[in-house]
Amino acid sequence: MSLIEAYICTTFKQSGETVLAFQNKVLESCQLTQFEHIAEALDVLERIENPIGSLVSAHLLESISIVFGSVEVRILLRYDASPDQEDDLDISALQLVRNPPAECLLGFIIKDRAMADFLGVSDLEDFSTSHVQILTT
C-alpha cells in the first residue's frame, strides 16, 4: 500500500476550516481517481461535518485517512504546531489508482473514545454507505 502523510496545523484555525480542508481533499481525491459515487461521498461528508468538527474542537482526532484501492492519504492533525509546520498535502500519488475504485474508505483515529462517546460523536461508522465506508479506531 502506498501512503501519503501530511501534517495539518489546527492551532490557529477554527474547526470548520480543518473540516473544510478535509472535505476538499476527499472531493479532489474522488475526482483524481474517477470515483463514480461522488454524490454519495458528498452526502456522507455533509452528514459527518458536525461530528468531525466536534472531534477537532475537542482535540480528540489524531488523524484522518482517505483510502482508494491501495493508496492511502493520511492527514495528521497537530494541535500544538505553528502554521509553518503544516505540510502541503500532495495527493498526486492517487493517480496510481488505475481503475476507478468501487469504494472510498474514510478512516479516523480518535484519541479518547470515552470522551468521544461522552460528546456523542463516536458513532461515525453509522454514516457509512454502500460505496463510502467509515472506520474509526
Domain definitions of the chain by residue range: 2-136
Q: Using CA atoms, how far apart are residues 18 and 75, in angstroms rounded to an integer?
A: 10
Confidence at residue 80, expressed as pLDDT on a 0 to 100 scale:
83
Q: Helix 15-33 vs helix 38-57: angle between axes, to the nearest 10 degrees?
A: 150
What's the mean pLDDT in 10-20? 82
The answer on pLDDT for 88 being more than 90 is no
Q: What is the pLDDT of residue 8?
A: 78
- Name the band, by pLDDT with cuts 50, 70 and 90, for residue 16: confident
For residue 18, the model assigns a pLDDT of: 87
Average pLDDT on 32-54 reads 95
Secondary structure class of 30 (helix, strand, coil): helix
Q: Answer for the pair 101, 33: CB distance below 8 angstroms, yes or no.
A: yes
Residue 86 — very low, low, confident or very high, per pLDDT cuts 50/70/90? low
Determine how β-strand 104-110 pairs with β-strand 61-68.
Answer: antiparallel
Do residues 104 and 68 lie in contact, with contact meaning Cβ atoms separated by under 8 Å?
yes
The three-state secondary structure class of 11 is: coil
